[in-house]
Amino acid sequence: MRSVLLPSTRQSSQPLSLEFKLVAFVILVAVCEGASRKWLLPALSGPLLACRDLAALTLVIRAAMLHHYRAMPMISQCLVLWSFCVVMWGALQLVVVQGPLVLYFLGLRFWLLYLWFALAMACSLSTSEVVKIIKLMIALSVLMMPLAVLQHFSAPSSPLNVQPDTDEDEIFRVSADIVRVSGTFTFTMGYACFIAAVAPFAMATVWNGKQLYRRKGLAMLAFFAVSVGTLISGSRASIMFFVALLATQTIGSFVGAKSGKALLFSLAKAVIAVVALSATLFIFSDALLATQERFTNAAAEEDMVGRVETELLGEPAARKDMNFIGHGLGAGTNAGSVLLSGERTFELAESEPARVLLEMGLVGVAWLIIKCAIFSLGLVKSVARLTRVGETLPLMLWATAAYGMSSWPISGQVSANAFGYIVLGLALCSIRPALPARTVVYRYVPEVSR
């Protein structure tokens, strides 16, 4: 009898790391927290959010202790400098503006915690774990589709459409009797952010050479679920972004095709996507008509160019009210508005750029510039990957991150904050250098000589 050295069975099966479990927990709480507040136990919302933030903080600290940030050293060093800038500027605002201390820590949570969480994701998750995170988000979108459809066909007074602290007359609607669905979230914004975050995975099927779907039927189901979810969301921005993302995927597939066979395959995928989208519009024709009515009414009431300008640069009136020091870190958050005024209102401004400018003044201007630089770098790297290996998902992820972090209220609303930075984390994963392999544990196994 002799002994041979074999890899440990537990290690060879690649058990899920703590980092993966923390990210999955954050995603699950972000999706399910609103449901507990609406239909189960409203008092559970606060503890769930606290647990989610604790999980995010744990990932950030663990990545630092295990030196994971060395995987992306330049970005990590820049983030340290940016964090120091935000902390010190917020402290200066405390002295000048004399705001409450709790508002300052609330602002740090929205401005820095999940930004570090996104980088920790990119530096800690293995490729197989990233694929599992993507599959988790796809599964959640498919499971949420029946609920969203029921909400769409239910009256505004239905228990399915209840929203905390909101009267029936104040529930957002696409038309007179058709609500803007909220899914498991407490507000329509959370659902719109979630469905947009999943859209790239419903259109692309490959991540770093790994297939996301074992069967083509699952890919079609995911595309159908996200298409339906986007259509019945009632969000004009989400619908226009979905169409733009689908066009990006189609053009990217043609550009990245390396052979005639790959080009034909890309063309076939585009045809199938158009057929599936047409079938979706036919099945939900009432939602299409209601959405058309919403687009028509909105076009009559506001200028589209002005709307885009507001989404990217903030309201003109807010830009005029901006001052050098700002109103104080955290003053633009939804929770901060309740703390300052006692009401759920937009304390500073409705659009994300205006909130940032009014809240942080000069540092807010710097943040808008930094975001543009981040997205430009990510898009350039993702286009390079598209031309090199033909994968469209990195480009779509960076387009989604740019759209979400520019137009979603990531600096003030908890769901938008979570999904904006989750998408950013996955986008960073798509352009990161190869991570070092994890240590393999060996065990001795006795071998019986024949």
Q: Tens digit of pLDDT for each residue in 324-339? A: 888 888 887 877 776 7
pLDDT at 440: 41
Among 110, 120, 113, CA closest to 356 = 110
Long-range contacts of 295-303 (CB under 8 A, 24+ apart): 295/236, 298/236
Considering only residues 399 and 164, tell me which one the structure prediction assigns the higher pLDDT. Answer: 399
Segment 167-215, tens digit of pLDDT: 666 677 766 677 888 889 988 889 999 999 999 998 888 888 888 888 8
Q: Residue 443 belongs to what H/E stretch?
A: strand 442-447
Burial pattern 70-90, b for ≥16 Cβ within 10 A else e, equals: ebbeebbeebeebeeebeebb
- What is the pTM for the complete model shown? 0.88
The DSSP 8-state label assigned to residue 173 in this structure reads B
pLDDT at 294: 64
For the ranges 37-41, 343-347, 369-373, 378-382, which has the lowest average pLDDT?
Answer: 343-347
**Average pLDDT, stretch 359-380?**
93
**Average pLDDT, stretch 230-240?**
83
CA distance 178 to 297: 15
pLDDT at 298 over 80: no
Read off the pLDDT band of 228 (50, 70, 90).
confident
Tell me whether residue 446 is exposed, middle or buried, using C-beta atoms within 10 angstroms of its C-beta: 0 to 12, 13 to 18, 19 or more: exposed
Locate tokens 């992306």: which residue? 72
Residue 126 structure tokens: 């293995």
Residue 416 contacts residue 193 (beta carbons within 8 Å): yes
CA distance 152 to 148: 6
Mean pLDDT computed over every residue of the chain: 82
**Average pLDDT, stretch 299-309?**
62
pLDDT at 381 over 50: yes
**Average pLDDT, stretch 109-121?**
96
Among 225, 50, 51, 260, CA closest to 147 = 225
pLDDT at 268: 65
Instruction: Enumerate the H helices of 69-168 as residue ranges.
Output: 73-97, 101-108, 114-124, 127-153
pLDDT at 248 over 80: yes
Residue 91 structure tokens: 């402290």
Locate tokens 């999904």: which residue? 419
Give the CA-trace dihedral at 89, 95, 100, 106, to 10 degrees. Answer: 10
pLDDT at 36 over 90: no
